Amino acid sequence: MTDMTGKTVLITGASRGIGEAAAHIFAQAGANVVLTARGKSQIDAIAAAIGDRALAVRCDVSKWEDVKSAVDAAVARFGNVDVLINNAGVIEPIGPLIDSNPAEWGHVIDVNLKGVYYGIRAVMPIMAAQGGGSVLTISSGAAHNALEGWAHYCASKAGVHMLNKALHREGAGKGIRAIGLSPGTVATQMQREIKGSGINAVAQLSWSEHIPPEWVARALLWMCTEDADDFLGEEISLRDEGIRERAQVRR
């Protein structure tokens, strides 16, 4: 396993699914982990299970002040932030544009796109000052292919894809590694929401077709290594069998 001893990893959306799995995987690799989510009780429990190298911070990524405070808390506790995992994301409410609620539609943009920007903006000066770091952002095939009922999600993920590219262009010279990860469909609560909507082909998939969140977490750990430098500024697809082999997440 990649040795992350002495490194600090801040994870958004860490109360369940990919974020929770990443907290455990990175802690097992020796990292300090900072778990953020809107629900404090869930991340408190996860942090308690991990131990002294974990910190739980309540954070709504749609609010700049929350994100900045979470990053400040990470630095105050552990002295640095070496890895930011932009994982927090929402897809509800799923439905056609013609019936969409503008406030609810905009909230998805606030979380999925602006939340990623806030994370980048908060850690970038820190990473630049310390000589580098990694910003790993959960992307999606929806960034490249429109799906019925997912206009808000597709638009936000397309924006995140370009934000990752912009970060690479501006941050690479400062030692900041920017990589996106498109995991495919993952067995998380989001997939239950998609299934419940009954809209588009993704909702028709069986649960057995979704990969476990631990696969994504292990891929994120691998992305912190030099072996993933081929993909700086780009997006890795976990559907790619070659990538699964390199990240050691094959069935």
Catalytic residue among 26, 153, 222, 231: 153
Active site residue 153: yes
Question: Which CATH topology does 8-184+212-247 take?
Answer: Rossmann fold (3.40.50)
Task: Tell me the residue type at 132.
Answer: G
Report, as an integer, the average pLDDT of 12-29. Answer: 97
Residue 190 to residue 175: CA distance in whole angstroms: 33
Q: Residue 85 has which token pair?
A: 């995992």
Contact indicator for 114, 90 with CB cutoff of 8 Å: no
Confidence of residue 115 (pLDDT cuts 50, 70, 90): very high
The predicted structure's pLDDT at residue 249: 86
Residue 178 to residue 132: CA distance in whole angstroms: 11
Minimal CA–CA distance to 157: which of 134, 136, 180? 180
Question: Is the backbone peptide bond immediately before 93 cis, with ω within 30 degrees of 0?
Answer: yes
Q: Is the pTM of this model over 0.85?
A: yes
DSSP letters, 155-211, are HHHHHHHHHHHHHHHHHGGGTEEEEEEE--SBSSHHHHHHHHH--TGGGGS-GGGSB
Q: pLDDT by residue (tens digit) across 194-212?
A: 888 888 888 888 888 887 9
pLDDT at 73 over 90: yes
Domain boundaries, the chain: 8-184+212-247
The predicted structure's pLDDT at residue 148: 93
